[in-house]
């Protein structure tokens, strides 16, 4: 097994899930209505679970540190998350649009990984498929609700958020350092194919939303190489504050 290529893929995916889980959890207790607060928090927990499962696989198969150490003891430049997940939560419109664009990509990735040559990854992909279906259903339903069935303000807010999020969303498909190996060895389909499937699915799922899909191809890159926005370090400080007081503590 090409452990370097596998770790490269897993860190990109796990760090995205971890950081977005933390961002989503910032809504806990502050969500727009009780029911949505609980649903969004649940989705955040699921994302954290995906990250943990990926760190666990890397620990078992790639010689990477324990999941808690991998998640909480790395500095910003060691993180491989995209700029998209680092951005502050903004208002609920932006958080929903990011949730939608990210989760379409997440669904595309994990669906492709069912066919991965790496069995632990393929097994995980089969296990969480239902969960991802729900996340996607949740995100798409809100996009259509606020885009087509809401009012002028909700439509305008969603359209603006979609336009702002788009170049960051495209940054999710920045390649790692082992792209060709991942494709050649059947571990993963690669970022170009992922983006192609993502674009088709975004268009399909937003068909009834009346939202206009941006055509811009500009992408915010750098996250996969360890170059991040200024938003990441404060998030890491806050997220790891308790863990770093005593990393040897058992919980």
Partner 1 sequence: MATILSLDPRVTRMNLDAEQSAPAEPKPALDQFQTFEVFHQAKSGAHHTHVGCVHAPSPELALLLAKEQYGRRGQTTNLWVVNTRDVVTMAADDADVFATTPEKKYRDVGAYMVRDKVDAFKKQMNEGTTE
Summarize as ranges the residues that interact with partner 1 (CB under 8 A).
Answer: 26, 30, 33-36, 38-39, 42, 134, 137-138, 141-142, 145, 149, 238
What is the closest distance, in whole angstroms, from the C-beta atom of residue 58 to partner 1 in the complex? 28
Nearer to partner 1, 145 or 193 (CB): 145
Nearer to partner 1, 35 or 152 (CB): 35
Asked if 80 contacts 176 with a C-beta cutoff of 8 angstroms, the reply is yes
What is the closest distance, in whole angstroms, from the C-beta atom of residue 131 to partner 1 in the complex? 11
What is the closest distance, in whole angstroms, from the C-beta atom of residue 33 to partner 1 in the complex? 6
What is the closest distance, in whole angstroms, from the C-beta atom of residue 236 to partner 1 in the complex? 13
Nearer to partner 1, 133 or 225 (CB): 133
Residue-by-residue DSSP string for 203-245: HHHTTTT-PPPP--------GGGT---TTHHHHHHHHHHHHHH
Instruction: Report how far residue 239's alpha carbon sits from residue 97's, in angstroms, rounded to the nearest whole number.
Output: 23
124: number of Cβ within 10 Å? 20
Nearer to partner 1, 32 or 65 (CB): 32
Distances (CA, A) of 233 to 155, 175, 208, 227: 33, 22, 38, 11
Nearer to partner 1, 127 or 149 (CB): 149
Distances (CA, A) of 197 to 8, 187, 190: 21, 17, 11
What is the closest distance, in whole angstroms, from the C-beta atom of residue 103 to partner 1 in the complex? 13
């Amino acid at each position: 097994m090409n452990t370097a290529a596998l770790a490269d893929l897993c860190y990109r995916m796990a760090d995205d899930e971890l950081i977005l889980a933390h961002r989503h959890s910032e809504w806990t207790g502050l969500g727009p209505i009780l029911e949505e607060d609980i649903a969004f928090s649940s989705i955040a927990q699921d994302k954290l679970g995906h990250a943990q499962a990926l760190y666990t696989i890397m620990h078992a198969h790639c010689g990477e540190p324990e999941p808690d150490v991998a998640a909480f003891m790395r500095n910003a430049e060691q993180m491989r998350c995209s700029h998209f997940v680092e951005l502050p939560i903004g208002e609920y419109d932006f958080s929903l649009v990011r949730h939608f664009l990210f989760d379409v990509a997440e669904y595309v990735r994990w669906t492709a990984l069912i066919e991965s040559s790496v069995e632990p990854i393929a097994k995980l992909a089969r296990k969480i498929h239902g969960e991802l279906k729900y996340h996607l259903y949740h995100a798409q339903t809100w996009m259509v609700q606020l885009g087509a069935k809401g009012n002028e303000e909700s439509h305008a807010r969603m359209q603006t958020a979609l336009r702002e999020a788009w170049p960051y969303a495209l940054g999710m498909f920045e390649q790692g350092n082992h792209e060709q190996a991942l494709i050649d060895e059947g571990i993963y389909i690669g970022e170009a194919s992922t983006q192609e499937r993502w674009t088709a699915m975004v268009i399909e799922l937003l068909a009834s939303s009346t939202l206009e899909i941006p055509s811009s191809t500009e992408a915010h890159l750098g996250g996969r190489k360890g170059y991040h926005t200024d938003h990441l370090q404060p998030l890491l400080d806050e997220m790891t504050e308790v863990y770093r007081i005593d990393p040897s503590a058992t919980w």
